[in-house]
Every structure is written in structure tokens, then in C-alpha cells.
């Protein structure tokens, strides 16, 4: 039996792999729609004029560990002290979001919502109320493939800090599925409260909080005057600007390859890539891989994908959809992607075949076929 809880470490690398730079004077080839540069989500902070890197500009790198993963910020600048100050503020923002939204911290707002399940409504901040609202809307849009009430399986499937290699009994999983239904999360806009309808229900914002933290931190970096950087937290990455006249190149990790191995690369600027994969937190037992991405309908690890990478203009959107599409699989998922101008995606399906949305055709360069394996 093998079990692993992997952290994202190495050079700026997402669930996608190494993020580097590559010369490219031309925009990416056109796909289903134009891929014009779009800004990161707007923020209320005052924004300084962008810092224009001089001839002495260089890459500087900063790292911290928060939200169960490694956060890397790589900046192209001639102002290393200023970049360090901005990065520290961005790391502090990750920690603030984690303290608010983690279900593992007993005093977090999410933990209080879970404690009140079936008995009381909990008043929350405008920020958290808005995010939970977006998560519930995503549940409706994906017909439940994205469902924050999968938190009900905590303690049965152990892939986080509680990982021990155990596999729950089928009867235990089936019993918990009765507690999974995003439609039973009750929100009251007037009082700005959240209530879980049934005792035993739990929400988890693991599929949305990190994307939100990335977007918030991108806004901080830009407010500090830094426009050319890559910010990566686990499988979520935002590539802002460029390195001089060169775009950032990001590689999509080979699900069964080494941590540094990519099967495809793309050049992006002012876009986010988010990858959901079955290789970060998993157990292999009796020749079967069990991983942390659960199908809300069955309560078991989703079986239709090995990884899904989503390209979008903001990390929150990409984070939600990479999770949902992983559960849905490429046949149903690609139809939704093609119907949405704001999304593009790359699927590696359960049989190790690669499926690329039309908007990424020509923009994504295949390096090899993904490695075979369990």
C-alpha cells in the first residue's frame, strides 16, 4: 500500500509544472474566441503606477507555506526590497483567508457554520457570504458536481493532515452521502447568515478558498506596483505580465510522471491556470488509486479523470471549474467548457487520453503523451 500527501514544491510550478519564460512576440493562435489580456479581479485597494523594470531587472523568488501547500511568488523586477515587501503582504493575505475559511481551524467562521449544522444560522462576513453564494451557484451550474457539502466525508476519507492510508467501508460512505446536498445550505441575505439544514452536515471551501486567496494576492501585488510576476499556490497559478518582452511559459504536469515532468506547455499572460489532479493526495491499495477529489453523488473518489487544467481570467473561477470538470469527466465537461467563453480546459481522462478545448488548440504545445500507470 502506498499513500502520500504531496506538497507543491520546486520551481514555480503549479499542478501544472515548471513555470518559466519563453520568447514570444506573437499572441497565441486563435481558438474558439480571442484571448485578449485581461486584468486580475479588481480590488478596493489603491493601485500604484506599475513599476517599469529597468535593464537591471532580474527574477526574484519568495516562498511561504500556508493553506496546506507551498506558495511561490516569482517577480521580474529591479526593486527586490519592494517586491519582498509586496510578497510578504500577499503571504499574509493567504493566512488571513485560511484563518477565515479553513474547516480545520476550530475558531474559523466555516468551523462555526459546521458546528451549528441543524440548529442555528451563523452570521458571517460579507466576503465569506459572497464566496459561499458563488459556491452554491456553481453547484447549480454543475448539477452538483461542485458541492461544498462534501465536507460531510471528513473523518472517513483521510487525505489531509489526517492521512493514514485507510479506506472507509462502503456502508459508512453511503450513510454520509445523505448529508451531501448544496441545496440544503440556507443563506439569508438580510441577516447575512448561513445555516446547514441537517445535523451532521459540513461544508468545506477547499475547492474555492485557495483560488480566492490567489486573486486577492494578485490584487495586492499589483496595488504595490508590480505587474510582472507569477503567483502559485499548489495547483492554482496566476501569470501576470511578462519577463521583459517574454511571456511566461507554464507546463501541465504529467499525472503519472515525476513531479517536474510536463506533458504540455502553454505561453500565457494575465491569465490563471488551475489544475485538479488525482496525484497530490492519494492512497494506492490493492492496485487501486484513491484520491481526495470526491464525487458528491457517490461519496467516493471521482473516476473519470486523472487531471483537469482550466484556463480562465481569475483563479476563483478556474479553481471551481477544475474541480467540477474533474468530477464530470471530459464527455460532459467539455460541452460546458465549449459553451462558455470564459473557460478553456485540458483533460487527461481515466484512460490517459488528452482532450483539449478549441480555445487552446494551437496555444497548447504537446511535449509527449502522459505517462501510463495506476
Condensed to tens digits (0 to 9), the pLDDT of residues 164-200 reads: 889 999 999 999 999 999 999 999 999 999 999 999 9
- pLDDT, average across residues 307-327: 97
pLDDT digits (tens, 9 = 90+) for 12-45: 333 444 343 332 323 333 345 444 333 444 444 4
pLDDT digits (tens, 9 = 90+) for 230-288: 999 999 999 999 988 889 999 999 999 998 899 999 999 999 999 999 998 899 999 99
Query: With helix as H, strand as E and coil as C, how does 120-176 read?
Result: CCEECCHHHHHHHHHHHHHHHHCCCCCCHHHHHHECCECCCCCCCCCCCCHHHHHHH
Residue 147 has pLDDT above 60, yes or no: yes
Rounded distance, CA 289 to CA 352, Å? 14
- pLDDT, average across residues 288-300: 96
Rounded distance, CA 21 to CA 231, Å? 14
pLDDT digits (tens, 9 = 90+) for 67-99: 989 999 999 999 999 999 999 999 999 999 999
Closest CA to 299 of 194, 155, 189: 155
Identify the residue whose cell numbers are 441577516. Answer: 191
Take residue 339 and report the three cell numbers written for it.
459553451
Residue 51 has pLDDT above 80, yes or no: no
Residue 32, pLDDT score? 55
Sheet of 185-188: strands edge to edge? 122-123, 193-196, 185-188
pLDDT digits (tens, 9 = 90+) for 350-371: 999 999 999 999 899 999 999 9
Measured CA distances, 357 to 19, 58, 263, 330 (Å): 21, 35, 16, 10
Residue 36, pLDDT score? 39
Closest CA to 311 of 268, 353, 354: 268
To which H or E segment does residue 246 belong? Answer: strand 246-253
Which spans in 189-248 are helix H? 209-223
Task: Give the 3-state secondary structure of residue 185.
Answer: strand
Amino acid at each position: 500500500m502506498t499513500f502520500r500527501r504531496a506538497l507543491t514544491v520546486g520551481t514555480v510550478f503549479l499542478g501544472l509544472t515548471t513555470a518559466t519564460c519563453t520568447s514570444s512576440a506573437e499572441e497565441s493562435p486563435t481558438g474558439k474566441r480571442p484571448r485578449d489580456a485581461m486584468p486580475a479581479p479588481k480590488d478596493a485597494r489603491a493601485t500604484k503606477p506599475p513599476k517599469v523594470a529597468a535593464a537591471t531587472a532580474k527574477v526574484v523568488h519568495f516562498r511561504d507555506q500556508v493553506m496546506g501547500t507551498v506558495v511561490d511568488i516569482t517577480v521580474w523586477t529591479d526593486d527586490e526590497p519592494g517586491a519582498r515587501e509586496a510578497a510578504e503582504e500577499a503571504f499574509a493575505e493567504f493566512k488571513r483567508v485560511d484563518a477565515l475559511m479553513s474547516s480545520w481551524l476550530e475558531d474559523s467562521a466555516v468551523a462555526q457554520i459546521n458546528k451549528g449544522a441543524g440548529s442555528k444560522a451563523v452570521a458571517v462576513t460579507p466576503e465569506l457570504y459572497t464566496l459561499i453564494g458563488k459556491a452554491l451557484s456553481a453547484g447549480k451550474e454543475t448539477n452538483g458536481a461542485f458541492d461544498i457539502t462534501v465536507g460531510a466525508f471528513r473523518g472517513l476519507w483521510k487525505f489531509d493532515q489526517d492521512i493514514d492510508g485507510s479506506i472507509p467501508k462502503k456502508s459508512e460512505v453511503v450513510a454520509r452521502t445523505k448529508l451531501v446536498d448544496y441545496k440544503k445550505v440556507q443563506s439569508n441575505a438580510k441577516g447575512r447568515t448561513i445555516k446547514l439544514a441537517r445535523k451532521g452536515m459540513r461544508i468545506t471551501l477547499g475547492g474555492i478558498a485557495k483560488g480566492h486567496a490567489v486573486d486577492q494576492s494578485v490584487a495586492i501585488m499589483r496595488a504595490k506596483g508590480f505587474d510582472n510576476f507569477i503567483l502559485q499556490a499548489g495547483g492554482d497559478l496566476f501569470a501576470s505580465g511578462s519577463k521583459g518582452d517574454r511571456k511566461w511559459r507554464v507546463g501541465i504536469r504529467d499525472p503519472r510522471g515525476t513531479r517536474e515532468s510536463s506533458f504540455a506547455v502553454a505561453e500565457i499572460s494575465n491569465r490563471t491556470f488551475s489544475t485538479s489532479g488525482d496525484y497530490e493526495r492519494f492512497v494506492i491499495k490493492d492496485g487501486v488509486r484513491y484520491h481526495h477529489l470526491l464525487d458528491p453523488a457517490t461519496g467516493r473518489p471521482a473516476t473519470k479523470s486523472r487531471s483537469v487544467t482550466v484556463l480562465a481570467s481569475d483563479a476563483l473561477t478556474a479553481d471551481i471549474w477544475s474541480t467540477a470538470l474533474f468530477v464530470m469527466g471530459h464527455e460532459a465537461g467539455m460541452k460546458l467548457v465549449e459553451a462558455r467563453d470564459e473557460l478553456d480546459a485540458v483533460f487527461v481522462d481515466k484512460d490517459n487520453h488528452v482532450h483539449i478545448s478549441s480555445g487552446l488548440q494551437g496555444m497548447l504545445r504537446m511535449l509527449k503523451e502522459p505517462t501510463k500507470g495506476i
